[in-house]
Amino acid sequence: MSKLTLGPLFFQWKPEQRRDMYFRIADEAPIDCVYLGEVVCSKREPLYYDYLPEIVERLSAAGKQVVLSTLALITSDRELAAIAERCGEAMIVEANDVASISLLKGRPHITGPFINVFNEATLDFLVRQGAIRVNLPVELSGTAIATLARHNPVETEVLVFGRQPLSVSMRCYHSRAYGVHKESCQFVCETDPDGLAASQLTGAPLLRVNGTQTMSHGYAVLLRELTTLQTAGVTHFRLSPQVADMVQVAEIYRSVLDGDLDAASGEALLHNLTGETPYVNGYVRGREGMAWAET
């Protein structure tokens, strides 16, 4: 049966807000697997680290698989040490950088969407290293996803809801936009739990900035593609946490995956939860990522 997952929270939420979201997911959401841990900025995790044990416990008690994700970009010794500690834990880890893959070699692990898996040979290599589930990059077309999912001897995961991560940098654009230094940023990113809107000079929205990460302004919504992806062999469908009510988002996706709700009706329900944020599905249609095609 198709599994629904909740990807790592990319944004900097207040620790209690973060904890409460996960508690609700544990208690109410039809989600099979939850990814925890900081992917974007290593300065953030200490702020909410103390809450992680109780979040893990609550999710596990609810029967959900819990995975710890690693940073998408690792440069400092402090980050390397933290990653080494994470990869040494008994819990299953999602590797988002080659450094993590090298630490997890020979042990079951998951590779995250920041690992460039564009073809079968790379996929095969990762599986030989111990990957039991492979997340595909957001940039792939539906054709490429299908080719890789069919080929993949282990589980395949694809992001089907939420802002798409488009790039990562050492430079913190949140700090830059707020006129502070990265080293003394005072966590200005917490001002924008939904990311900082970055618009064109015309005023038309384009991107969202989240610290060192740049994301799509629109939510990727692949409800219409779910059946095709299921048929191609995608096993895990990732929802990326947004400020929208993720319990209700999960319920809609679960219903469409189960065939209890058609995709168009699901989309109509989803619009009630997501306000004015536009939807995108260009990448999966083999087009520019920001496009939205209904047919």
Nearer to another protein, 60 or 228 (CB): 228
Q: How far apart are CA 27 and CA 38, in angstroms?
A: 22
Per-residue mark of binding to another protein, 251-290 (x: CB under 8 A):
-------------------------------xx--xxxxx
* Among the residue ranges 3-11, 37-45, 146-154, 221-229, the one whose residues contact another protein (CB under 8 A): 146-154
Among 26, 67, 207, 232, binds another protein (CB under 8 A): 207
For residue 106, state whether it binds another protein (rule: CB under 8 A). Answer: no
Cα–Cα distance list, 89 to 77, 93, 118, 179, 263 (Å): 19, 8, 29, 38, 39
Q: How far apart are CA 19 and CA 21, in angstroms?
A: 5
For residue 119, state whether it binds another protein (rule: CB under 8 A). Answer: yes
Nearer to another protein, 192 or 251 (CB): 192
> % helix / strand / coil in the chain, to the nearest 5?
40, 20, 40
**One-letter amino acid of 228:** T
Q: How far apart are CA 277 and CA 30, in angstroms?
A: 24
Per-residue mark of binding to another protein, 148-177 (x: CB under 8 A):
x--x------------x-xxxxxxxx-xxx
Among 63, 89, 204, 275, binds another protein (CB under 8 A): 204
Nearer to another protein, 80 or 273 (CB): 80
DSSP 217: E
Residue 226: Cβ within 10 Å count = 20
For residue 1, state whether it binds another protein (rule: CB under 8 A). Answer: no
Report the b/e string of 230-242 with b at 16+ CB within 10 A.
bebebbbbbbbbb
**H helices within 89-213, ranges in order?**
98-104, 120-129, 142-151, 173-178
For residue 209, state whether it binds another protein (rule: CB under 8 A). Answer: yes
Name the site residues for another protein (rule: CB under 8 A).
72-75, 79-80, 83, 97-99, 101-103, 114, 116, 118-126, 138-140, 143-144, 147-148, 151, 164, 166-173, 175-177, 181-183, 196-204, 206-207, 209, 214, 216, 282-283, 286-291
